[in-house]
Amino acid sequence: MASNRIGRINEEIQRELSTLLRNLKDPRVQDTMISITRVDTTPDLRYARIYVSFLEPERVQDAMKGLNSAGGFLRRALGQALQLRYTPQLQWVLDDSITYGAHMLELIHNLEVSEHESDDQD
């Protein structure tokens, strides 16, 4: 039953942070397409790992610095929105699963093109 509660809290944190990131004034974060892929909160609600993915790989380092810099502001805004006993400390983790998936789709697409070309030649 406790894991179900943590799951709901993780979803709420993800939803609120997505909204807060759109309104953030930091140009390092504002000019970058950021997607929160997953949130993992510890059972005591002290820490939350936020897994983020970026559409533009060349801006990852600056955006991560911007997210770490805005962590205090985001934590305070999150605490006001969720009204939990403890507002978790945010730990930003780079998640490259979307980039990896796009790369794999590109490889599959190139493979299909190569197979069709070899069938046409026979």
Tell me: the pLDDT tens digits for 44-70?
889 999 999 888 878 889 999 999 999
114 assigned to some structural domain: no
pLDDT digits (tens, 9 = 90+) for 24-41: 888 888 888 888 999 999
Parent domain of 53: 2-96
Q: Is residue 54 part of a domain?
A: yes
Closest CA to 82 of 38, 53, 45: 45
48-85 burial, b at 16+ Cβ within 10 Å, e below that, comes to bbbbbbbeeeebbeebbebbeebeeebbebbeebeeee
Residue 113 falls inside a structural domain: no
Count the domains in the chain: 1
Give the CATH number of the domain where residue 28 resides. Answer: 3.30.300.20
The residue count of the chain comes to 122
pTM for the model stands at: 0.78
Does 102 reside within a domain?
no
Report if residue 116 sits inside a domain. no
